[in-house]
Amino acid sequence: MKQYLRLFDLRQPVNYKTEILSGLTVALALVPEAVAFALIAGVSPLVGLYAAFVMGLVTSVLGGRPGMISGATGAVAVVLISLVKDHGVEYVFATVILAGLLQIAAGLLRLGKFIRLVPHSVMFGFVNGLAIVIFLAQLVQFKTVDASGELRWMSGPDLWIMLGLVGLTMLIIWGLPRLTKAFPASLAAILVVSAIAIGLGINTRTVGDIASIQGGFPPFHLPAIPFTLESLWIVLPYAAIVAGVGLIESLLTLNLIDEITETRGRGNKECVAQGLANLTSGLFSGMGGCAMIGQSLINISSGARARLSGVFAAVMLLLFIMFGAPLIEQLPMAALTGVMIMVAIGTFEWASLKTFGRMPLHDVLVMVVVAAVTVFLHNLALAVLIGVIISALVFAWENAKRIRARKYVDAQGVKHYEMYGPLFFGSVAAFTEKFDVPGDPSEVVIDFSESRVVDMSGLEALNRITERYQKAGKTLHLKHLSPDCRKLLKDAEKLVEVNIIEDPTYHVAVDHV
């Protein structure tokens, strides 16, 4: 019984009013997003709405981060565009199912922990880039279709009405929390602006102008594709990308919510939940998805901290589709646009601007590059990957320069090299240059008390320096090798014949970290 209580977090206190109102706000914000992402992918709006319902419900119940919202996302939609164009929507369902299986495997293999390798500078760039993308995505609402069928910027009364309603929405979201926090500001803004627009008969774009959201319960549907190896090879590359993009975006969103709430989610559990959600989405006519940072921030900023808000948002979204479409389609897009612009403003890490001139140049560069790739390529996974690679290369370069040696000759005429810094592929060249084999005495000691052998390149460097001293007819001793270094040497089939001078139980300080 305790396992089920832990699974659904029923032992934690829940503010039901806050959770329900926050969930309703999220549900309203999910509608235009799901429709827009479905249209981007080239599928029916209902495919996106069904995905938002299934993803939101499954991850809210089983996910590793209460309060986080999942649904159909632009990151996944972009991946599916060419697949829909070349093979049709049935292959999308198969792709999402396979992506879900890959994500489940990643969670069971506990690969979620690798999100720890994402540096803070990459997180800053990711969040800032995403905030800009969210903001830029709202600008399309300020455009209209002219007589020739092309989009152009609004002008005249239409523009002023749109700006006025968006501005009023933002003002309510900004001002209401200063008066009371008893009611979610975002929901209040949507209700007030909608009441004004509908009550006064203001002619402005509504949700129904984008597409109809009328539908039924998501139908169970096995993908109508040939179950052949050829189909697998078509689906597999897309599934791998969807799985990777979904996990990266979800785990980064989880980390962001962790920082805001000062709690800790469970990455591997979230991987499994995302996989189950995508698997279920593919079986119930959905396009799949992942965590949604915008809706998650709406939920958290409204005060939600439990699973109930996400469950309620998913259920309300389904009710909108099945019974409330005529009402929801009357909501002005200006209200939802204002909410998302405030989300973008709240998402942007304004404190990151203070890092310019204060933090290391490479960290600032990584932050800017990640943000730029996110904005211009709309590929969050690629942006994060590039940021991690740049950070790793900079780290390797900086550590490569830290290898150094203190040299002295003791009373017995033995030459000592006291090494400092890690010996790995980046520092091998500098390590080799430290030794004067022809000029050294007959006996030499290399002391690793402040160093360690890290990889195969380090082993090979030891092997080469040993051979050089042997050819010169001199004796070489390796001193203070830590246990993990000796194990590395043993696993490498004794590439280097080690003469340990110190007690074999000696530990270097770094072993205790």
pLDDT digits (tens, 9 = 90+) for 133-142: 878 878 888 9
**Residue showing tokens 């091998």:** 428
The least confident of 99-108, 206-215, 348-357 is: 348-357
Where does the pLDDT of residue 99 fall: very low under 50, low under 70, confident under 90, or very high at 90 and above?
A: very high
Where does the pLDDT of residue 363 fall: very low under 50, low under 70, confident under 90, or very high at 90 and above?
A: confident
pLDDT in tens, 373-407: 888 876 777 888 888 889 888 888 888 888 889 99
What's the confidence (pLDDT) of residue 32? Answer: 81
What is the chain's alpha carbon radius of gyration, rounded to the nearest angstrom? Answer: 29
What's the confidence (pLDDT) of residue 222? Answer: 94
Higher pLDDT, residue 136 or 75: 136
pLDDT in tens, 337-357: 888 888 788 878 888 888 787
For the residues 317-340, what does the mean pLDDT come to? 90
Q: Does one domain contain both 95 and 71?
A: yes
Q: Does one domain contain both 374 and 225?
A: no
| pLDDT for residue 125 is more than 80 | yes
| pLDDT for residue 257 is more than 50 | yes
Instruction: Note the helical H segments in 63-145.
Output: 74-87, 89-108, 120-138
What's the confidence (pLDDT) of residue 308? Answer: 94
Q: Does one domain contain both 69 and 159?
A: yes
CA angle in degrees (0–180, nearest 5) for 113-253-391:
60
Q: Does one domain contain both 174 and 259?
A: yes
Higher pLDDT, residue 150 or 510: 150
Which of 366, 399, 432 delimits the end of a domain? 399
| pLDDT for residue 462 is more than 90 | no
Select the highest-mean-pLDDT range: 12-16, 364-368, 394-398.
364-368
Higher pLDDT, residue 506 or 300: 300
What's the confidence (pLDDT) of residue 298? Answer: 87
- Classify burial at 51, counting beta carbons within 10 Å of its beta carbon; exposed 0-12, middle 13-18, buried 19 or more: buried
Q: Does one domain contain both 152 and 219?
A: yes
What's the confidence (pLDDT) of residue 318? Answer: 96
From 380, 396, 102, select the one nearest 232 (Cα to Cα). 102
Q: Does one domain contain both 299 and 385?
A: no
DSSP letters, 136-187, are HHHGGGGEEE-TTS-EEE--HHHHHHHHHHHHHHHHHHHHHHHH-SSS-HHH
Q: What is the CATH number of the domain that holds 459?
A: 3.30.750.24
What's the confidence (pLDDT) of residue 493? Answer: 52
Q: Does one domain contain both 283 and 369?
A: no
Distance CA(122)–CA(363), nearest Å, equals 8
Q: What percent of the chain lies above the pLDDT cut of 90?
A: 38
| pLDDT for residue 210 is more than 90 | no
Select the highest-mean-pLDDT range: 18-22, 494-498, 509-513.
18-22
Q: Does one domain contain both 379 and 482?
A: no
What's the confidence (pLDDT) of residue 505? Answer: 40
Number of folded domains that form the chain: 3
Q: Does one domain contain both 366 and 496?
A: no
Q: Does one domain contain both 321 and 367?
A: no
Rounded (10°) angle between helices 333-347 and 120-138: 160
The least confident of 90-94, 126-130, 238-242 is: 126-130
Q: Are 309 and 299 in contact (CB under 8 A)?
A: yes
**Structural domain range at position 440:** 401-512
Q: Does one domain contain both 256 and 383?
A: no
Average pLDDT, the chain: 85
Rounded (10°) angle between helices 45-62 and 307-319: 150
Q: Does one domain contain both 375 and 457?
A: no
The least confident of 198-202, 311-315, 499-503 is: 499-503
Where does the pLDDT of residue 7 fall: very low under 50, low under 70, confident under 90, or very high at 90 and above?
A: very low
